[in-house]
Structure 1
Amino acid sequence: MKRRIELLLAAAVLLASCEDDAVPRPKGWPRLDLPASSHERWQQDGAPFSTELPAYARIAERKAEGAARWYDLRFAGQRATVHLTYSAVQANLPELIEDAHEFKRKHEAKAARIRSERMLRDSARVFGTLFDVEGDVASPCVFYLTDSTGHFLYGALYFDAPPNADSLAPVTARLRADIRHMAATLEWSAR
């Protein structure tokens, strides 16, 4: 008798809990609070270039090998870093440019698309190329800038997270805009 009551209760619960109308869950995405877009002039004694950087970014020089100079442009709130390498041009400009293109080519296997954008500012003698690498790649933005005679600056954007283009898209778009602004305001220092 006790078993029969338990079975009837279980059947009643199952029948009462069944509904014909399925209720879809609302879609949700993580909230990204990007800081306001403002820039500050960065100029360091002895640095080979100056530029405007986002106010929410911090730049620090790292110990480099050889004659190169390394800088990390850190976006702490976005968990991203632009690794910058400055090299003085000494009849090696073709090799430096080829290295930048080689790095871009290494991303071709994973990239959905790679767009290149020329950057030309004759008045400041700043020339270069920015590569927008779309897809689940390690570095979604790679660029180089040069004056073609004495200065060469190479940069690559990295996130402190596994590459997931869909999740990182809003932050990547913002940082690409910041990199473009940096290139548009870059000035070479006298050597």
Structure 2
Amino acid sequence: MKFTYLHRLLFFSFLFFLVSCGDESIPKPNCQLSLEYPDATYDRLASKCNFEFDVNTLSKVSVKDDCALEVNYPKMKATLYLTYKPVNNNIEKLLRDAQKLTYEHVIKADDILEQPFINADNKVYGMFYEVGGNAATNVQFYVTDSTKNFVTGSLYFYAKPNFDSILPAADYIKTDVRKIIETMKWK
């Protein structure tokens, strides 16, 4: 029996369908990363600086000579930078600079929420800024006694700003920042 062109075509078609049949590939659904952090415990940070506050024991604090502090969160790849400046009849300039620093992020930010803070007993007055969206920083603040001391703080992550990805870590550290502000005392 001679194989004709039609026979060969049918044979290869049958072979092709036989080999190509198999499990259909189904795309996997997008998964969400679940980040959970332990409950925070706080210790008093005592330094030579004109202020002290409670800090999360999971963080690592380094104090510079000019009372600039870095509160590092290694597991979250984030650092809270604190800067101290003495007030010498320049409170308006210090306040303006702190607000300007925050509002420089308005280009990338979806919104900026301001939350004033007043602790008259300890003479601590300030503002907490929550920056929403893909800005370089998600949290900024300043506190002062308005006569001698002024401290600013900014939180930065060591990753491309993607608000959805860093949200759990940012929320965790926001709680720590609020604790710093609430427990701030001047020496």
Fold-level similarity (TM above 0.5)? yes
Identify unmatched segments of 5+ residues in structure 2: none
Stretch of structure 1 that moved more, 46-55 or 26-35: 26-35
Q: Over residues 17-40 of structure 1, what are the superposed CA-to-partner deviations in whole Å (9 max), with x where a residue is unaligned?
A: 476xx8562432224241321111
**What secondary structure is seen at the aligned counterpart in 1 of 2:68?**
strand
TM-score, with normalisation over the residues of structure 1? 0.87
Q: CA RMSD in A?
A: 2.1
Q: Indicate yes or no: 2:136 matched with 1:138.
A: yes
Q: Over residues 84-132 of structure 1, what are the superposed CA-to-partner deviations in whole Å (9 max), with x where a residue is unaligned?
A: 1000100011111101111111111111010000011110000000110
Distance in 1 between the 2:97 and 2:40 partners? 32
Query: How many residues end up aligned between the 2 structures?
Result: 181
Distance in 2 between the 1:90 and 1:41 partners? 28
Which stretches of structure 1, 4 residues or more, deviate above 4 A after TM superposition? 1-6
Q: Indicate yes or no: 2:176 matched with 1:165.
A: no
Alignment of 1:36-51 (within 5 A): 36-44=39-47, 46-51=48-53
Alignment of 1:16-165 (within 5 A): 16-17=21-22, 23=26, 25-44=28-47, 46-64=48-66, 69-165=67-163
**What secondary structure is seen at the aligned counterpart in 2 of 1:124?**
coil
Distance in 2 between the 1:3 and 1:152 partners? 88
TM-score, with normalisation over the residues of structure 2? 0.89
What code does the residue aligned with 1:72 have? E
Distance in 2 between the 1:98 and 1:57 partners? 30
Q: Does the Cα contact within 8 Å between 1:35 and 1:56 map onto a contact in 2?
A: no
Following superposition, the deviation at residue 58 of structure 1 comes to 1.3
Instruction: Please say which structure displays the higher CA radius of gyration.
Output: 2
**What secondary structure is seen at the aligned counterpart in 1 of 2:103?**
helix
Identity %: 28
Following superposition, the deviation at residue 11 of structure 1 comes to 1.9
Q: Who is 2:14 aligned against? A: 8
